[in-house]
Structure 1
């Protein structure tokens, strides 16, 4: 049965890697893969329980299926639920801020006809937002803003890629900026301060290097779209101070979550729910004249952002379940022993992880490695190991358009082809990756 479970995982990962060709929804594939693996695990449950969990099973007094559900499968449900609840909270925070026009400050800051200035401003806003929100949410939001400003289709593709790479690097910079880093933090593999300390400079170096390679290719003048200010169903929208207050509460509250976690030791999603509750109260106070009127119904509702994020959550759940089932068969432990025996240098492992992420996406790659290397103390005892793996999986995932969830969304929205991405983006990402990796190695050596 172990062979069948591992085969389902491999076939599922191949389907995910070739989603651009087979046109299958990656979230659907991941969910089917995760459910199938656990059904098969339960069918042969007596074998796995007797081999790996016999002492705990005897003490529990439950039958095999109940023991699997309560003691083996449940921990993966908790692991997935913590991340999903966090994402639901942050997604709702973004919707509240967006509906109240709090991100209009970004539109105002980006209005310039100088393409190079536009590039740096776009990169700065995207990087900062992604460090606070997750990279997919930031990508959806910034692509929407960029579309409302840039008129030229070719430039939209270039700036769209810039949004993706900035969102990915901003997400890699903090533990709350990407599902992968959030999973690392939830598993206890890293602390928020240590993680950001290792990745702050390498992420910036990799990003700036990639952007500089685009710098000379930009035109001398940027053609802007003539837009009308957004209509939100009323003529009494929040004033600038009210919108700024809500933005500070929302974004500033997210920055406080790592501190909240270190003080209370509660899961990060509890902190996110507290921020959401506070922002919700501020929202009702600012909108109390409209809150029970029909005017609120007509406010903007970012359905595209919501749809993409829900698919991202379902994909994550499926991946956690599938890899968890394989992990419980001990195959990942055997694979880690084989891998470490042949690849003992963490930088070589990081390069291998990055190349794998380019094909099966960075989230799947990093989640797999959390289980593969969790017991390899000769590697994980080094505090720099997990930041290095996270950085390499992010940059490796950005090598190809389908390597990150944000990249997939960009390809769909901008109709970018694989050939276009390879020609204009991949080699620039590779140069940035190498520059960031050298920076990381120098920092690690100095520490």
Structure 2
């Protein structure tokens, strides 16, 4: 059954890649794929659970007295339905809720003309120069925010500046690459680095100086190549004919109100990583707090504006602008990957890598390449589960202390895993959360990205990896 599940996943993946010629929306394919894989896993669960989740299954049954007298088959059904699916949907929901919150804040800023304050100050009209500016902004913003939020913000900015949709695809592709590379060197820049940081595998003081140069190289190489596709000055987008309600309300709002929404919206986004560090609550709680605050603020603001109620751009109206198909595509992909994870397929592949290769650099390079196909979160989670953080006592008692030293806190394995899992997703447009969102927002075709961007992203990924390996052998740890 494991083989059949892998084949079904690959077929679904191919259908997503062929979305344009098949004329089937990728969101529908992803939802179908996710549901089918879970159905297959449910029927195969009794044979897969002992190897894939044996300890979790025993703990689940032992803590549920009502299940002890049931048959093994019934116990498996309850384990999948009451534990694995709920856990999977819970984790996916945290990502989707965060995405909804971030998109809502960005749409609210855009609806009130907030981004115009920034675009008016972007004086560069040369396409190549603008691409460099956008890439640098994205790279450093994603280290402070996260690559998902950064990508949404930058795409909204580019829409205000670049009119040609094909040129926006190039800008969008570079935003994905720069966001993923920028998130890899910061402990709060990507979901995977946050996982490694929170669990104590890496620390801020060691990670930033050791990964920032490889991350810069991984973004610089694709930038140099993608610049060649752009020539001349930017053609600004046609001004959309604003609806009567938008024209009326924007005339009523002064620059002070528009600027306040921009500043408060950006502060709400920047507040999320701080909120997580202080409260230890997941990021989606921070983004919901920000949405609630902005909602409260705009309600008070509109209470002072003398205009018809139906013309006010309240948040309850703005939220309808969010791209629902992007959210559903995200849901389907993550459900499909979680089905493979629960079936033990990803863990089995990780074990095969470890036993067959036994080289931390090669293993991580393959994990990074694989993260372009499946979500990097379960891959990193699987690696964390397979390799505990080694202590000095464990290293001293090991038969191979040199190899085990790679797994101490801030060891080579963990740092290189953060780089590979973060940057590797750029090789395919659906290989990262940032890529999925940009693909949905700008309607970037999978095959276009594969033909025009993937090779350069691969070269950047490998170049950054070479820099890290050379840095390790020639210089040792920078700090």
**Taking structure 1 as the reference length, what is the TM-score of the superposition?**
0.78
Alpha-carbon distance in structure 1 between the residues aligned to 2:44 and 2:176: 43
- Give yes or no for contact 2:146–2:190 (8 Å, CA) kept in 1: yes
Distance 1:44 1:161, change over 3 A: closer
- Give yes or no for contact 1:401–1:411 (8 Å, CA) kept in 2: yes
Q: Residue deviations 1:288-342, cap 9 Å, x none?
A: 3359711125998486752254124413541353134213xxx544433321012
Alpha-carbon distance in structure 1 between the residues aligned to 2:303 and 2:320: 24
Aligned with 1:418 (options 447, 450, 460): 447
2:339 is equivalent to residue 322 of structure 1: yes
Other-structure match for 2:61: 57
Distance 1:17 1:198, change over 3 A: farther
- Give yes or no for contact 2:102–2:287 (8 Å, CA) kept in 1: yes
Alpha-carbon distance in structure 1 between the residues aligned to 2:66 and 2:468: 49
Aligned with 1:371 (options 378, 382, 390): 382
Alpha-carbon distance in structure 1 between the residues aligned to 2:33 and 2:149: 25
Superposition pairs of residues 255-270 of structure 1, within 5 angstroms:
255-270=270-285
Aligned with 2:360 (options 341, 346, 353): 346
SS of the residue 2:312 aligns to? helix
Gaps (5+ residues) in structure 1? none
TM-fit CA distance, 1:140: 5.3
SS of the residue 2:18 aligns to? helix
Larger Rg: 2
Aligned with 2:217 (options 205, 213, 219): 205
- Give yes or no for contact 1:37–1:325 (8 Å, CA) kept in 2: no
Aligned with 1:436 (options 464, 471, 477): 464
**Taking structure 2 as the reference length, what is the TM-score of the superposition?**
0.74
Other-structure match for 2:424: 396
Gaps (5+ residues) in structure 2? 68-74, 389-403
Other-structure match for 1:236: 251
Q: Residue deviations 1:101-155, cap 9 Å, x none?
A: 2222332133433333322332244445545666456545544543443355664
- Give yes or no for contact 1:357–1:393 (8 Å, CA) kept in 2: yes
Distance 1:340 1:403, change over 3 A: same
Alpha-carbon distance in structure 2 between the residues aligned to 1:189 and 1:375: 13
Alpha-carbon distance in structure 2 between the residues aligned to 1:167 and 1:68: 35
Superposition pairs of residues 67-146 of structure 1, within 5 angstroms:
67-128=79-140, 130-131=142-143, 135=147, 138-139=150-151, 142-146=154-158
TM-fit CA distance, 1:235: 4.1
TM-fit CA distance, 1:61: 1.1
- Give yes or no for contact 2:425–2:432 (8 Å, CA) kept in 1: yes
Other-structure match for 1:7: 4
Distance 1:83 1:399, change over 3 A: closer
Segment of structure 1 superposing worse, 378-387 or 162-171: 378-387
Q: Residue deviations 1:64-94, cap 9 Å, x none?
A: 2445433444333332233233223222222
2:18 is equivalent to residue 21 of structure 1: yes
- Give yes or no for contact 1:136–1:406 (8 Å, CA) kept in 2: yes
TM-fit CA distance, 1:236: 3.4
Segment of structure 1 superposing worse, 129-138 or 287-296: 129-138
Q: Residue deviations 1:331-368, cap 9 Å, x none?
A: 5444333210122222212221233344x25xx24423
Q: Residue deviations 1:182-237, cap 9 Å, x none?
A: 66678886677876565444323322333234446643444444647966242435
Other-structure match for 1:310: 327
Other-structure match for 1:296: 312
Alpha-carbon distance in structure 2 between the residues aligned to 1:430 and 1:46: 40
Distance 1:191 1:181, change over 3 A: same
Other-structure match for 2:302: 287
TM-fit CA distance, 1:253: 3.2
Over the aligned positions, Cα root-mean-square deviation in angstroms equals 4.0
- Give yes or no for contact 2:33–2:332 (8 Å, CA) kept in 1: no
Distance 1:201 1:45, change over 3 A: same
- Give yes or no for contact 1:165–1:398 (8 Å, CA) kept in 2: yes
Segment of structure 1 superposing worse, 47-56 or 111-120: 47-56
Distance 1:316 1:91, change over 3 A: farther
Q: Residue deviations 1:233-288, cap 9 Å, x none?
A: 42435444433433333333333333332332222222222222222222223333
- Give yes or no for contact 1:140–1:305 (8 Å, CA) kept in 2: no
